[in-house]
Amino acid sequence: MLLAIRERMMGVVGWILLGLLAIAFSFFGLNWYFQSDARTYAVTVNDVDVSLGEHQRTYQLLRARMQDIMGEAYDPARINEAALKKNALEQLIREQLLLQEAEAEGFLVSKQLVAAQIDGVDAFKEEGVFSKQKYEQALRLQGMSPGEFEWRLSRELTTKQITNGVVQTAQATPEMLDAIYRLQGQQRRFNYLKLPLARYRDQVQPSDEDVQQYYEAHTSEFMTPERVRVQYLELKADELEVIGEVDEADLQALYQEQSERYVTEEERRARHILVQVAADADDEAIVSARARAEAALERLAGGESFEALAGELSDDPGSAANGGDLGFFAKGMMVPEFESVAFTLDKGERSGLVRSAFGFHIIEVTDIRAEVVKPFAEVRDELVDELLAAQRGDRFYDLSEELFNLVFEQPDTLEGAAEDLELEIRTSDWLSRKGGKGIGEFAGVVAAAFAEDVLNNGNNSEPVEVADGHLLVLRVLDHELATAVPLDSIRDKVRAKAHDEKARTLTRSRGEELLASMKSGTPLKEIAAAESLELQESGLIDRGAAQPERVLVNEAFLMPPPTGEQASVKGLALGSGDYVLLALEEVRDGDLSAMTDAERDQASRELSRIQGVTEMAALLDDLRSRANIVVHDQSN
């Protein structure tokens, strides 16, 4: 949601996401972008219509979240588009219900609060101060006016009053905590026996008929990938030409504005002898420390070596071993009392006693690096590059806004935008849902190319930001559906898979026979001996144990407790093809009294949070049960 990610946002990408996130409270959308004969609304909640544009935005956001979470493992081909769109619709319904409830209860948000939230967003700041120009530029890049953004943010803050009021005020009772911990802190002990798939591989051999049947039953595994070629327009800030020459006065102004960048501050190198005084020292201790420091000062005056005395007398272990040397330092790096003296001494000059929070110092400056200011001539080329980059950035923002408008106004062609913005229409290589060469390396491009509105409806994509200052807009040029690979060309591959399936079936069949024997009373230990397999023991473990493998631990904690001396038994086919027989021998409930007060408080807070989330879900269920919700047919 808007507030939850506010601090994480940077650059154009962040604010495009922000625009996608602000989806719950809009009653209008980019309806004109879709086919003219399409239905206008995705869903109506209590007579409030939610547009298809909002549904599309929510769907795109969910895809972006999945891609962000999965990283390099993200595979568009494995995304269930129908389920994702259904989830997006459910999210819109829930959020609209919350907004209506908040408004019915009279919750309000002041303009001052909205302004404060906007003012706190780093992406809208220039050198730490809110910049109206950056604010408007960021919103333009997502096709949103300041008024619309502020309206959306106001709705977001309004609904948060309900969610926070429910979630943050929930309280778990001691009885709830005890009941939960008896389960959460439970320990279990089980024995298990693993029938390895490898044992049964040599016992099966697929026939040609088996291979044919496997191919026909699993044709979807042997498909050439669906793929597309796209036309696209590309807008890159660093490739934009800037009209005119850089004004010398502008360069001088930029140099003065950023003068601190070109100054290397004066630095001093010093050594010291520290006689430490504790912060809470009494008068007697202070007098004693001063006397020690004065004695050191007298020995220095008598000609003794500073380095030797620092090693002998200084209470600063970090520098004493180096003759008291502190290295070079600039202003602001030392405590004020030390610094104010060190920066008044000449090279080779020594101070008297200097009192700081650490104690008494004797300081000697050993070297001075004077302040250095890079002259304008030396940094002129750098300033020229900065001004040109700023001008390209301004032009990029302006062209981006035009690009947004043009591709939406003419959703069935890129030619108008290309002509008006003097951009070249380019053609990609073939792209599958896993990507491809060139622009196919950008996950956002692949997601846009295979989005339903682009792939099936023939519309331009929304501008896709693949990097800061780099936008692409695309439309599908050619589309090839996935097709089955002929069996003859992959027969060996299919035979291997059919062989594996038969071995798995035989392994599972034998495992189920042994499980039936266990249920009849045969101990697992006897079965292990008869099968010449090693019986494994888990020991007493909790539900978070890493060993044995997690699938077995999870299954053991789902099994019913043993009755009397009779173990609870279960059979499980693993993804590897092995079959496991489990015998649950012992269950011990968690004991809340064994927890420390701090652990109990932490557990109570966590359970209260869970209780709050549960109560929030119940509220949403209640609102939905009393609402009139109409989901519109979007099939055409």
Tell me what pLDDT residue 385 has: 73
Among residues 335, 370, 405, the one where a domain terminates is 370
Cβ neighbours of residue 189 under 8 Å, at least 6 residues apart?
537, 538, 539, 540, 541, 584, 585, 586
Q: Is residue 434 part of a domain?
A: yes
Q: Is residue 110 part of a domain?
A: yes
Tokens of 269: 């190198």
Question: Are 28 and 143 contained in the same domain?
Answer: yes
User: Could you report the per-residue pLDDT of 225-253, keeping only the tens digit for each?
Assistant: 999 999 999 998 878 777 656 777 877 77
Where residue 313 sits, what CATH number does that domain have?
3.10.50.40
Measured CA distances, 206 to 194, 470, 489, 579 (Å) = 25, 54, 18, 21
Q: Which domain holds residue 396?
A: 227-247+377-484
Determine the Cα–Cα distance for residues 473 and 475; give it in Å rounded to an integer.
7
Question: Are 24 and 141 contained in the same domain?
Answer: yes
Among residues 453, 484, 515, the one where a domain terminates is 484
In the numeric block, the tokens 């010291």 are attached to 272
- Cα angle: 311, vertex 313, 318; to 5 degrees: 55
Tell me what pLDDT residue 9 has: 31
Tokens of 517: 């024997």
Q: Which of 117, 96, 103 is nearest to 161 (CA)?
A: 103
Determine the Cα–Cα distance for residues 567 and 350; give it in Å rounded to an integer.
84
Cβ neighbours of residue 177 under 8 Å, at least 6 residues apart?
592, 600, 603, 604, 607
Q: Per DSSP, what are the bridge partners of residue 631?
A: 43
Determine the Cα–Cα distance for residues 537 and 193; give it in Å rounded to an integer.
9
Question: Are 583 and 442 contained in the same domain?
Answer: no
Tell me what pLDDT residue 461 has: 92
Question: Are 361 and 445 contained in the same domain?
Answer: no
Q: Is residue 36 part of a domain?
A: yes
Q: Which amino acid is at 184?
A: Q
Tell me what pLDDT residue 156 has: 83
Question: Are 133 and 43 contained in the same domain?
Answer: yes
User: Could you report the per-residue pLDDT of 389-406, keeping only the tens digit for each?
Assistant: 777 777 888 888 889 889
Tell me what pLDDT residue 440 has: 92
Is residue 71 left, alpha or beta, with left meaning phi > 0 and alpha meaning psi from -120 to 50? left
Determine the Cα–Cα distance for residues 506 and 205; give it in Å rounded to an integer.
12
| Helix or strand run (H / E) with residue 194 | strand 187-195
Q: Which amino acid is at 391?
A: Q
Among residues 351, 370, 389, the one where a domain terminates is 370
Three-class SS string for 54-112? HHHHHHHHHHHHHHHHHHHHCCHHHCCHHHHHHHHHHHHHHHHHHHHHHHHCCCCCCHH
Helices (H) and strands (E) in the chain, counts: 23, 23
Determine the Cα–Cα distance for residues 194 and 508; give it in Å rounded to an integer.
11
Determine the Cα–Cα distance for residues 141 and 12; give it in Å rounded to an integer.
7
Tokens of 279: 């912060």
Determine the Cα–Cα distance for residues 497 and 35; give it in Å rounded to an integer.
45
Q: Is residue 536 part of a domain?
A: yes
Determine the Cα–Cα distance for residues 280 and 287; give it in Å rounded to an integer.
14
Is the separation of the CB atoms in 3 and 118 below 8 Å?
no
Q: How many residues does the chain have?
A: 636
Question: Are 47 and 191 contained in the same domain?
Answer: no
Q: Give rounded-to-5 percent helix, strand, coil for the chain.
A: 50, 20, 30
Phi, psi for 464 (deg, rounded to 5): -110, 120
Q: Per DSSP, what are the bridge partners of residue 117?
A: none
Residues of the chain with pLDDT under 70: 1-40, 72-78, 140-144, 243-245, 633-636
Q: Is residue 555 part of a domain?
A: yes
Question: Are 386 and 439 contained in the same domain?
Answer: yes
Where residue 37 sits, what CATH number does that domain have?
1.10.4030.10
Interhelix angle 597-625/146-167, rounded to 10 degrees, is 120
Tell me what pLDDT residue 7 has: 32
Q: How far is CA 428 from the centre of its chain?
A: 30
Measured CA distances, 263 to 267, 308, 371, 373, 571 (Å) = 12, 37, 7, 4, 74
Q: Is residue 42 part of a domain?
A: yes
The sign one gets for the Cα dihedral 520, 525, 530, 532 is positive
Q: Is 586 helix (H, G, I), strand (E, B) or coil?
A: strand
Q: Which of 396, 480, 389 is nearest to 430 (CA)?
A: 480
Q: Is residue 218 part of a domain?
A: yes
Question: Are 366 and 382 contained in the same domain?
Answer: no
Question: Are 439 and 495 contained in the same domain?
Answer: no
Question: Are 525 and 583 contained in the same domain?
Answer: yes
Q: Is residue 152 part of a domain?
A: yes
Where residue 477 sits, what CATH number does that domain have?
3.10.50
Question: Are 150 and 193 contained in the same domain?
Answer: no
Question: Are 473 and 512 contained in the same domain?
Answer: no
Is residue 53 left, alpha or beta, with left meaning phi > 0 and alpha meaning psi from -120 to 50? alpha
Q: How far is CA 17 from the centre of its chain?
A: 12
Domains: count for the chain: 4
Q: Which of 443, 373, 453 is nearest to 407 (CA)?
A: 453
